[in-house]
């Protein structure tokens, strides 16, 4: 049994759909699942894909509750599991930022990582920590935490594309995440704790991304460019 937390979010729902389509035995936990439901579902869990978390809020405590405290609760229900358990935790590359650039989100995700590492060491289970860059794809919610989704939505609706900070960002399509998740599930790796990152991603300035998206419907782009090809697909299908 595979259990996915945060299955109502963009990444979690994409993983859930992909695994179900692949014929996997999958169950899910939502943000409103009560403690008894969490306990019961984790009891039969062989693989836990932990996607749940808070990455945007005006209330600082939401980050601690949604990222750290929730992970701590999950770990408390897994104390009696054995080394046959596999945990895949979707973390963030923001954890790797310099100290002066770290925010409450990255700090709360790092503390969540620490809780899972302590659990994995105690029960000797396999823990795969997947540190993700910015994820984009069809179904990603605009005006939340994805500049790609927001720009595409605004361009489609002929609204202004505002740049808050013109910085370089790392992007990866959701399909790459799904492929990696499937590889981790099938992998026979027996190492206790594994830190995993993507070596290939799109590195682009926000202003460049804006210009590409503004012109998606007016210019003929070379489809060999995988980023532009994916942006075109999302623009047309959304």
Enumerate the active-site residues. 105
Q: How far apart are CA 143 and CA 141, in angstroms?
A: 7
Q: How far apart are CA 2 and CA 4, in angstroms?
A: 7
Point out which residues pair with 169 in neighbouring strands. Answer: 204
Tell me the backbone φ, ψ of residue 15, rounded to 5 degrees: -65, -45
Q: Give the contacts of 235 (CB within 8 A, at least 6 positions apart).
A: 152, 155, 156, 213, 216, 217
Point out which residues pair with 48 in neighbouring strands. Answer: 3, 87
* H helix or E strand, kind and range, residue 49: strand 47-50
CA angle 119/121/127 to nearest 5° reads: 70
The Cα-based distances of 220 to 44, 132, 208, 225 in angstroms read 51, 31, 16, 12
Q: How far apart are CA 168 and CA 30, in angstroms?
A: 33
3-state SS, residue 137: coil
């Amino acid at each position: 049994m595979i259990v996915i937390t945060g299955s109502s979010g963009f990444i979690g729902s994409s993983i859930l759909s992909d695994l179900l389509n692949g014929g996997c035995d999958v169950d899910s936990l939502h943000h409103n699942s009560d403690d008894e439901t969490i306990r019961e579902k984790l009891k039969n869990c062989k693989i836990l894909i932990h996607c749940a978390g808070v990455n945007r809020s005006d209330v600082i405590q939401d980050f601690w509750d949604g990222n750290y405290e929730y992970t701590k609760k999950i770990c408390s229900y897994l104390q009696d599991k054995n080394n046959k358990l596999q945990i895949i935790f979707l973390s963030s590359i923001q954890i790797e930022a310099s100290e002066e650039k770290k925010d409450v989100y990255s700090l709360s995700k790092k503390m969540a990582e620490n809780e899972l590492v302590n659990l994995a060491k105690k029960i000797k289970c396999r823990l795969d920590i997947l540190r993700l860059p910015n994820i984009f794809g069809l179904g990603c919610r605009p005006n939340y935490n994805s500049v790609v989704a927001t720009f595409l939505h605004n361009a489609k609706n002929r609204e202004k594309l505002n740049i808050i900070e013109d910085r370089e960002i790392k992007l990866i399509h959701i399909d790459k995440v799904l492929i990696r998740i499937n590889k981790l599930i099938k992998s026979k790796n027996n190492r206790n704790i594994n830190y995993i990152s993507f070596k290939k991603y799109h590195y682009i300035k926000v202003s460049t991304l804006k210009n590409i998206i503004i012109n998606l419907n007016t210019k003929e782009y070379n489809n060999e460019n995988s980023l532009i090809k994916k942006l075109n697909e999302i623009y047309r299908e959304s």
